[in-house]
Each structure stands twice: as C-alpha cells, then as structure tokens.
C-alpha cells in the first residue's frame, strides 16, 4: 500500500518537474520579479520631480515667506494682481497658484484658494494644506511672544525606540515595519501556493478522468492511495519550485541587480525662475533648493551599486537584532504551508473527480475557497492591526483559515499553547477533509455523464464499499 502511494507521488513529481514549462517558469519568475521591482523603482525615481507653486499673498500676514518648500513642492512668491498671477503660472507651466486674499485672519483663515490645471491630485492638495497649516501655526506662536529658538524646540520630533519584552523578561529591539512586512509576505506566499497548486490537482484529476486513464490505474491502486499520491507529489513540486525561486531570487537581487543598474549619474536640480517684478513680491530664500539637493544626494547615495550589493546582508543583520522569532516563523511557515495545502488540496482533488466538465467546477470552487479568501482579506485589514485580538485568535484556530491567519501572527509572537492548539486542529481538519474527499473521490472518479449536485455529493460520502 505504501509503495503504491509513493509510486503515484513519484510519478506526479517527476512528470511535472521534467516539463519544459516548469523549468522555464522556475528560471524566469525570479528574474521577472527582480526586473519588475527594478522597473517600478526606476519609474518612481524618474517621477520624483519638484513642482513649483506660485504664491500670491495679499493677506498682509507675510504667509508666503513662512511656507517651507519640500522636495516635492517649491513655493515661489509672485506679485501683480490675481488675474496676472493666474496667467503667469499657466504660461510658465507651474503646478499651481496659491492665493491668500486681503483681510485674512490667522485665527480663522477663510477664503484661501489653490488654483491648479485640471483636477488637482489628493497628494498635491494635502502637501499644500500641510504647508499652510504649519505656516499659520508658526505665525500664531510668534505673535504670542515666542522666539525662533523656542519655536524650534516646540517642534522637536521625539524619536520612539520600540522594545519588545518576552515572557522571561528579556528585552530586544522591535520594528513594526519589519514584522508587518514579513507577515505580509508569508501570507501572500501561502495564499497563492494553495490556489496555484490546488487548482493543478483539480485539473490533473479532471484530465485523467476525461481520458479514462483512471480506469486503468484503479485496477492496481486504491482510490485513496491514488488521491494522496497525487496531492503529495504536487506538494513536492511546489516546495521544489519555491526553494529554487528563493535561491534564484537571492542571487538575482544581490548579484545581477547591481550589475544591471550600473553606476548612477548625479541627479540634476533645477532652480526656479525669479518672480515677476512689482507688487509685494518676496525673493525666494536661498535655502529653498537645499531640501531638493539633499533629497537628490540621498537618492544617489542609496542607489550606489556598492550599497545595493549589501542590502540583503544588512536586512538579515537588522532582523537578527530585532525580537523576531525566526525559528518559530520558519517552523510554523512549513507546517501551515503543508497543512493548508494538504487540507485544500484534498478538496480540490475531490472537486476534480466529481465533475466531468471543467466549467462545472465553479459551483463547487466558491464554497471551498471562500474561507481562504476571507482569511486573506481579514488578515490584512484586521489581524495585521491587532494580531492578539479575538478575531486573530479564532481565525488562527479554525483549520480553514489558520494557514493564512496564523502565519500573519507568527512574526509578532504567538504563545506556545496557541500555536500547538492551532497545529493540532489543523491536523484534525486535514484528516477530516481527506476522509470526505476520499469518499467523494472513490465514487466520482468513475462517474461519467451525470450532473453532480450537492445532494448527490452528500450521498457519495456514505456509500459502502
């Protein structure tokens, strides 16, 4: 019995890994991922331009001088009437015109307008609003008698060092960004692995059923051994492919990427043209361009090939210094990776055996995949924000949702008893789904020409023999 089961698994594994599509996909996916990331990074870098916003200040509060430029927006005071300022910003292709009317009150600044070309983006509007808020806050604080030194002290940013304390009282640095990133990557990997290879099982069973190969195979192998051999064989294919993807992705990101990027050219900066004469025009500050130049220098430093080559090593060093349970994460990921796949793979195999036409699988796919989709959505919207809450706890206990829910919680730290209970329930869930799938599989694999319903499936589970 065991030898036949292993022979089926070996056949599934070797048949799939020898296919040209498997080899091509295994080699190309890491290169495509790195290339896509490089492409997106280049686009984001090329889009980091500084837009100029003209400021016509008639308020008498000298707000234009208080507006602080950023790498994204440079404020340029202009003179003349409002109509002249509008014509000027349109002719010079500037990003917009900020108008502060006469009689503006610092306590109730009503009537401020921002003119832009077409529909103004949310990001641009938010940056202008933030700059105005800070300028009015500075004005009111100065009028209260505070000096510039006191204002700078009031604006002091407080650095927050997060420290994680485990059950033994040991303290270690914590970084919510790193833990959230790890949790997100693990959840995405499990989610797509179950879908990708589960569908492969369903299609493989359906193709063998439609070609009547199953009738020959069942003469020497029991239906249960055949189903489990197919599930385990495809799982081995998936693990092999993910292992190769990991190795190739590391090689591509640490070796190929710096070579492809090559030496970076120094970033160019532009200085805004001087404002038109007349009116209450105020010259631009000499420090206006410094944030832009600083951002460009920082960007060039980050994109240096020597620094890019050490990104992977630096990442591992940083993770090692944080209170991230690497051993628990690796062990838990493998368990939920395999447990979730085996649980859903058995159900996918049962669906493939139950139907004759692949188009009929949709009515059975939805109730099977609904818990998986729900755990994915709730995981990113709820569990990531509160990994110790009641929703996170119960979803990490239910076998159909625990593969995604629990791996999201692992980087944040999970009590040992919860992890053990969740794995135990996942094993019970797998055994239950295999029993149900095997009962459906043994009848459905030899059933042809009949439209299957849920009522019919329930009868198959209790057939004797």
pLDDT tens column, 271-312: 333 343 334 333 433 333 443 344 444 444 444 444 444 444
pTM of the model: 0.62
Please state, in angstroms and rounded to a whole number, the distance separating the CA atoms of residues 149 and 185: 45
CATH of domain 50-141: 3.40.190.10
Backbone phi, then psi, for 448, in 5-degree steps? Answer: -125, 150
Question: Would you call 449 exposed, middle or buried from its count of C-beta atoms within 10 A (0-12, 13-18, 19+)?
Answer: exposed
pLDDT tens column, 56-67: 888 888 888 888
Mean pLDDT along residues 170-196: 75
pLDDT tens column, 66-101: 888 877 788 888 888 888 888 887 777 787 888 888
Query: Whose structure tokens read 């009641």?
Result: 390
Domain ranges across the chain: 2-28+173-259+318-460, 50-141
The DSSP output letter for 322 is B
Tokens of 328: 């628990």
- What are the CA-CA distances from residue 360 to residues 124, 211, 344, 363, 438 (Å)? 49, 17, 18, 6, 20
CA angle 55, 59, 62 (to 5 degrees): 65
Q: How many CB atoms are located within 10 Å of the residue 360 CB?
A: 15
Please state, for a pLDDT cut of 70, what percent of the chain lies above it. Answer: 71
- 357: pLDDT confidence band, cut at 50, 70 and 90? low
Q: How many CB atoms are located within 10 Å of the residue 416 CB?
A: 9
Please state, in angstroms and rounded to a whole number, the distance separating the CA atoms of residues 108 and 136: 10
pLDDT at position 234 over 70: yes
């Amino acid at each position: 019995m065991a030898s036949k089961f292993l022979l089926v698994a070996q056949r599934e594994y070797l048949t799939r890994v020898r296919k040209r599509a498997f080899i091509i996909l295994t080699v190309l996916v890491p290169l495509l991922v790195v290339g896509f990331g490089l492409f997106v990074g280049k686009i984001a870098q090329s889009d980091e331009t500084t837009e100029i916003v003209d400021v016509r200040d008639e308020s008498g509060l000298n707000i234009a001088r208080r507006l602080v430029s950023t790498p994204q927006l440079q404020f340029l005071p202009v003179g003349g009437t409002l109509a002249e300022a509008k014509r000027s910003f349109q002719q010079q292709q500037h990003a917009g015109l900020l108008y502060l009317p006469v009689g503006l009150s610092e306590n109730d600044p009503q009537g401020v307008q921002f003119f832009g070309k077409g529909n103004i983006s949310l990001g641009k509007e938010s940056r202008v609003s933030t700059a105005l808020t800070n300028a009015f806050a500075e004005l009111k604080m100065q009028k209260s008698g505070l000096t510039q030194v006191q204002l700078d002290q009031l604006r002091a940013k407080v650095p927050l060092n997060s420290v994680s304390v485990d059950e033994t009282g040991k303290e270690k640095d914590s970084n919510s960004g790193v833990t959230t990133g790890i949790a997100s990557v693990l959840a995405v990997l499990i989610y797509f692995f179950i879908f990708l290879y589960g569908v492969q099982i369903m299609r493989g069973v359906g193709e063998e059923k439609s070609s009547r190969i199953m009738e020959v195979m069942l003469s020497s192998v029991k239906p249960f051994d055949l189903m489990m051999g197919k599930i385990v064989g495809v799982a081995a294919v998936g693990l092999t492919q993910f292992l190769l993807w990991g190795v190739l992705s590391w090689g591509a990101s640490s070796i190929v990427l710096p070579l492809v990027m090559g030496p970076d050219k120094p970033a160019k900066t532009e200085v805004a043209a001087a404002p038109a004469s007349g009116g209450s025009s105020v010259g631009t500050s000499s420090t206006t361009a410094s944030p832009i130049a600083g951002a460009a220098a920082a960007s060039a430093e980050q994109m240096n090939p020597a620094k890019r080559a050490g990104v992977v090593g630096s990442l591992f060093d940083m993770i090692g210094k944080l209170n991230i349970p690497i051993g628990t994460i690796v062990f838990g990921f493998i368990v939920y990776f395999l447990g979730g796949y085996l649980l859903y793979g058995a159900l996918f195999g049962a669906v493939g055996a139950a139907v004759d036409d692949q188009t009929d699988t949709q009515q059975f796919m939805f109730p099977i995949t609904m818990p998986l989709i729900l755990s994915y959505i709730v995981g990113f919207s709820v569990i990531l924000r509160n990994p110790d809450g009641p929703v996170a706890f119960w979803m990490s206990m239910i076998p159909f949702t625990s593969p995604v829910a629990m791996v999201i919680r692992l980087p944040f730290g999970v009590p040992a008893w919860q992890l053990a209970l969740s794995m135990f329930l996942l094993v019970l869930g797998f055994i239950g789904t295999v029993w149900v799938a095997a009962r459906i599989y043994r009848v459905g694999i030899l059933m042809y020409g009949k439209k299957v319903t849920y009522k019919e499936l329930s009868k198959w589970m209790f057939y004797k023999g």
